[in-house]
Structure 1
Amino acid sequence: MIKLCEPIIVAFPLRGEWLAPNTPGTKIPSHGTNQLGTRYAYDFIQVDWERKGWPSYRVGLLHYLFLGVPLNEYYCWGQAVYAPCDGVVVYAEDGFKERRRTNLLLDLMNAYKNAHFFDPRKDDVQTVAGNYIIIKYNDQIYAALVHLQTGSIQVAVGQKVKKGELIGKVGHSGNSFSPHLHFQLMDSSDIATARGLPCAFEQYEIFQDEEWKKVVKGIPTNKDRIRLRD
Structure 2
Amino acid sequence: MIEAREPIIVEFPLRGEWLSPNTPGTTIPSHGTDQLGTRYAYDFIQVDWKRTGWPAYGVSLLQYLLFGVSLNDYYCWGQDVYAPCDGIVIQAEDGYEERARTNLFSDISNAYKNAHYFDPKKDDVQSVAGNYIIMKCNDNVYAACVHLQTGSIQVTVGQDVKKGEVIGRVGHSGNSFAPHLHFQLMDSSDIATANGLPCAFEQYEVFQDGEWKKVVNAIPTNKDRIRFGS
Measured against the shorter chain, the TM-score band is: over 0.9
Where does 1:77-226 land on structure 2 (aligned, <5 Å)? 77-226=77-226
- Partner SS state of residue 106, structure 2: helix
- Partner SS state of residue 65, structure 1: helix
> Does residue 34 of structure 2 align to residue 22 of structure 1?
no
Distance in 2 between residues matched to 1:147 and 1:138, nearest whole Å: 23
Residue 65 of structure 2 corresponds to which residue in structure 1?
65
1:4: how far off? 6.7
1:17 and 1:225 in contact (8 A); partners too = yes
Percent identical across equivalent pairs?
Answer: 79
1:206: how far off? 0.3
1:139: how far off? 2.3
> Does residue 51 of structure 2 align to residue 51 of structure 1?
yes
Distance in 2 between residues matched to 1:193 and 1:10, nearest whole Å: 22
| Structure 1 residues 82 and 36: CA distance shift in structure 2, 3 A | same
1:4 and 1:198 in contact (8 A); partners too = no
1:116: how far off? 1.1
1:215: how far off? 0.5
- Partner SS state of residue 164, structure 2: coil
Distance in 2 between residues matched to 1:195 and 1:12, nearest whole Å: 21
- Partner SS state of residue 158, structure 1: coil
Give the AA of the match of 1:142. Y
Distance in 2 between residues matched to 1:88 and 1:20, nearest whole Å: 26
Distance in 1 between residues matched to 2:96 and 2:139, nearest whole Å: 28
- Partner SS state of residue 227, structure 1: strand
Find runs of 4+ consecutive structure 1 residues off by over 4 angstroms: none
1:38: how far off? 0.2
1:229: how far off? 1.8
Distance in 2 between residues matched to 1:70 and 1:120, nearest whole Å: 31
- Partner SS state of residue 201, structure 2: strand
- Partner SS state of residue 96, structure 1: coil
Q: Which runs of 5+ in 2 are unaligned?
A: none
1:12: how far off? 0.0
The number of residue pairs the alignment matches comes to 228
Give the AA of the match of 2:104. L
Where does 1:5-20 land on structure 2 (aligned, <5 Å)? 5-20=5-20
TM-score, normalised on structure 2? Answer: 0.98
Distance in 2 between residues matched to 1:187 and 1:228, nearest whole Å: 26
In the TM superposition, what whole-angstrom CA distance separates every residue of 1:26-54 from its partner, at most 9, and x where no partner exists?
01000000000000000000000000000
Distance in 1 between residues matched to 2:46 and 2:185, nearest whole Å: 22
Give the AA of the match of 2:97. K
- Partner SS state of residue 127, structure 1: helix
Distance in 1 between residues matched to 2:137 and 2:67, nearest whole Å: 42
1:29 and 1:38 in contact (8 A); partners too = yes
Give the AA of the match of 2:159. Q
